[in-house]
Amino acid sequence: MRRRLSGLWAVLTDPAAVKEFMFGADVRTDWLPGSSITWRGEWEGKEYADRGEILEAEPGSRLVMTHFSPLGGQEDVPENYHTLTWTLEESAGGTKLTLSQDNNASAEEAEHSKGMWDNLVASVKEIAERE
């Protein structure tokens, strides 16, 4: 089971895989707590640079980071950052991957984020199963 966990961790932290599941964005970070993380890409013809900080990195089990996207139109201040928490757990016959996001301004925003992140997690699963 540890092999599956480490394989899924590799997908979450490999720049080529991140580019695939993060809508074509290039990621830059060293994955160490306290380090910055940026995602650069293009969305609907507009270049963007999302940013955040790695808060926790426990290989094979947990990755926590902040995330801010200027595409949302909000001011770049700490209270507008989300915290993304990736959790990997052994389960019968595989690995359970959970992604949660905090700091949604409304139920509608939370629902929009859930749809986007559900698609992203499905992409991570697809990539991991190819490995």
pLDDT digit string (tens) for the chain, length 131 residues: 344 546 889 999 999 999 999 889 999 999 999 999 999 999 888 899 999 999 999 998 999 999 998 887 889 999 899 999 999 998 887 788 888 888 776 667 666 667 677 888 888 888 988 86
Contacts 24+ apart (CB under 8 A), 27-33: 29/54, 31/57, 31/63, 32/57, 33/57
**CA gap 112, 109 in Å, rounded:** 5
pLDDT of residue 92: 80
Instruction: Report the predicted TM-score, pTM, of the whole model to 2 decimal places.
Output: 0.84
Q: Which domains does the chain have, with CATH numbers?
A: 2-130 (3.30.530.20)
